[in-house]
Amino acid sequence: MNRSWLGAFQIGAVFVGTIVGAGFATGKEIVQFYTQYGWIGFFSIIISGFLFIWLGTKMMLVAKRIKATSYKEFNEYLFGVSAGTVVNIFMLVILTCVGAVMLSGAGAVFEEQLGWSFQLGVLITIVLSVAIISFGVKGLVGVNLIVVPVMIGFSLFIAINALLDHGFSFMTLAAPDDAWKGWISPVIYVAFNLSMAQPVLVPLATEIDDEWVIKRGGFIGGLFLCLILLTCHISIASLPNFQAFEIPMAEVVKISMVSFFGIYIFVIYGEIFTSVVSDIFGLQRQLESMWKVPKYLVTIVLVSIIYMISQVGYGSLIEHLYPLFGYISIAFLILLVFRK
């Protein structure tokens, strides 16, 4: 990829598309990590944006310099070979489960919002994902260049509408008694999401010829992530009792912009879809480095496993694995900060 702003924007789009997902699209993650902490949420989002830019860029630069082709080599570099092997096995499990949950979420959008079959939604998502992944990095970049600008534009639009209706009420939200958690939440959020982004950003960085593109791409991606978080936070904060809703962003659209609800469905599916594509892409790269078998066979096995898990529902497993993975993510972030 030559030195150009176009290349940097491509990297930034993949960065954003990899981080966002179902929780991001629905607004549930934003409430959990930011909005519930009142006025502190605004400042913690700014902190998150800084961390995404700094550490997201550093992760890609380190990956390029050590020539890591998958997150396996990257984690072995950070943690050492022995501990890195344990972390990699755990990541393989958690990423497979997350991919299944995202796939299930795509089916739920078809079933709950469009009134179509859950299975149809899952199968369409699988077919489209495999088709895009077959083009390698170009396919991954291409789908994010389509979905991410729409996502940013829609987020800006609803935030401006919320500001016109409610002003800067998000800055006057009362902080809860445990407000100190609001200053820690951006670190946990960024640690977890950068850990989950390794399977995509590590091999992507290795294929980039110029570090100039990585640095600008990391800055653009982190900046836009901060912007999307901020716009969603502003919109959700305009809702009374925002913590009572499972999908707060849907309530914002229903209340203030019901005519745009169809676009919202497209956006939420697009965010889930980019996560499914990124997840399968990263897992495929990792499994290819472990098994000396044809790529198409790896893809078939991987997609079959994710599909089967998505059918039975893995909510309880994810509920128990996520906190444990969160602790590992903090260790990952600390090592990333201090590793030269």
Q: What integer pLDDT is reported at residue 238 of this predicted model?
A: 81
Determine if the pTM surpasses 0.85: no
Asked if 330 contacts 187 with a C-beta cutoff of 8 angstroms, the reply is yes
Picking from 24, 8, 23, the residue whose alpha carbon sits closest to that of residue 225 is: 24
User: Tokens for 124?
Assistant: 């369409």
Give the pLDDT confidence of 286-332 residue by residue, as tens digits.
Answer: 777 777 777 778 778 888 888 887 776 545 555 555 666 777 788 88
Q: What integer pLDDT is reported at residue 246 of this predicted model?
A: 64
- pLDDT mean across residues, the chain: 81
**Averaged pLDDT for residues 88-108:** 80
d(CA 90, CA 92): 5
* Cβ partners under 8 Å of residue 76, min gap 6: 84, 85, 88
Alpha helices, DSSP H, located in the chain: 5-19, 22-26, 28-33, 40-65, 71-79, 81-108, 118-133, 137-166, 181-206, 211-237, 248-256, 261-290, 295-312, 315-338
Give the pLDDT confidence of 119-141 residue by residue, as tens digits.
Answer: 888 888 888 888 888 777 677 77
Supply angle C-alpha 58, 193, 33, rounded to 5: 120
CATH fold for the domain made of 5-338: Hydantoin permease (1.10.4160)
